[in-house]
Amino acid sequence: MTPAETTRSDSQLAQRRVAMLSMHTSPLAALGGRETGGMNVYVREVARELGALGIIVDIFTRRVDPALPEVDEFAPGARVIQITAGPPERVEKEEMAALTTPFADGIEAFRASEGVSYDVIHSHYWLSAAAGERLAAPWGVPHAAMFHTLGDVKLRARASEHERADRLETERRLVHSLDRVVAATEHERRLLQQIYRVPARQVAVIPLGVDLDRFQPGEQAAARVRLGIPLEERVILAVGRIEPLKGLDILIRSLADLSDRAGVVLYIIGGDDRAEAEVARLRLVAEQTGVSDAVRFLGPRPHEVLPDYYAAADVVAVPSFYESFGLVAVEAMASGVPVVASRVGGLASTVADGRTGYLIPWRCPTPFAEKIEVLLRNEELRRALGAGARRRMEQGYAWSAVARSVAALYEELVAEGARPVVASAAS
Each residue's pLDDT tens digit in the chain (427 positions)? 333 333 444 445 447 999 999 999 888 876 544 545 678 889 999 999 999 999 999 999 999 999 999 999 999 999 999 999 999 998 887 789 999 999 999 999 999 999 999 999 999 999 999 999 999 999 999 999 999 988 898 888 665 557 889 999 999 999 999 999 999 988 899 999 999 999 999 999 998 899 999 999 999 999 999 999 999 999 999 998 898 889 999 999 999 999 999 999 999 999 877 789 999 999 999 999 999 999 999 998 888 899 999 999 999 999 998 887 788 999 999 999 999 999 988 898 889 999 999 999 878 899 999 999 999 999 999 999 999 999 999 987 899 999 999 999 999 999 996 444 333 334 3
Contact call for residues 81 and 71 (beta carbons, < 8 A): yes
CA neighbor of 51 nearest in space, from 73, 75, 72, 70: 75
How far is 180 from 149, CA to CA, in rounded Å? Answer: 16
H-assigned helices in 157-234 = 165-177, 186-196, 220-227
CATH topology of domain 3-209+398-415: Rossmann fold (3.40.50)
Q: Is 246 exposed, middle or buried (0-12, 13-18, 19+ CB in 10 A)?
A: buried
CA neighbor of 124 nearest in space, from 150, 146, 101: 146
- DSSP secondary structure string for all residues of 217-247: ---HHHHHHHHT--TT-EEEEEES--SGGG-
CA neighbor of 43 nearest in space, from 59, 63, 32: 59
CA neighbor of 338 nearest in space, from 383, 392, 394, 398: 383
How far is 342 from 247, CA to CA, in rounded Å? Answer: 9
Q: Which backbone phi and psi does 190 adopt, to 5 degrees? A: -65, -40
Residues in the chain: 427
The H or E element that residue 297 is part of is strand 295-299
Whole-prediction pTM = 0.82
Q: Are strands 264-269 and 71-75 parallel, antiparallel or unpaired?
A: unpaired
How far is 119 from 321, CA to CA, in rounded Å? Answer: 37
| Domain boundaries, given as residue ranges, for the chain | 3-209+398-415, 220-394
Instruction: Write down the pLDDT at residue 417.
Output: 67
Instruction: Write down the pLDDT at residue 271.
Output: 84
Amino acid at 323: E
- DSSP tag of 30: P
How far is 348 from 383, CA to CA, in rounded Å? Answer: 21
Instruction: Write down the pLDDT at residue 245.
Output: 85
Instruction: Write down the pLDDT at residue 249.
Output: 96
Q: Which long-range contacts (CB under 8 A, 24 or more apart) does 168-175 make?
A: 170/97, 170/126, 170/129, 170/130, 171/126, 171/147, 171/196, 172/196, 174/126, 174/129, 174/130, 174/133, 174/145, 175/147
Instruction: Write down the pLDDT at residue 377.
Output: 96
Instruction: Write down the pLDDT at residue 142.
Output: 97
Instruction: Write down the pLDDT at residue 160.
Output: 55
Instruction: Write down the pLDDT at residue 274.
Output: 78
CATH topology of domain 220-394: Rossmann fold (3.40.50)
Q: How far is CA 226 from CA 309, 313, 328, 337, in A?
A: 10, 13, 21, 18
Strand-by-strand arrangement of the 143-146 sheet? 71-75, 78-83, 56-62, 17-21, 120-124, 143-146, 180-183, 203-205
Domain 3-209+398-415 and domain 220-394 have a common topology: yes
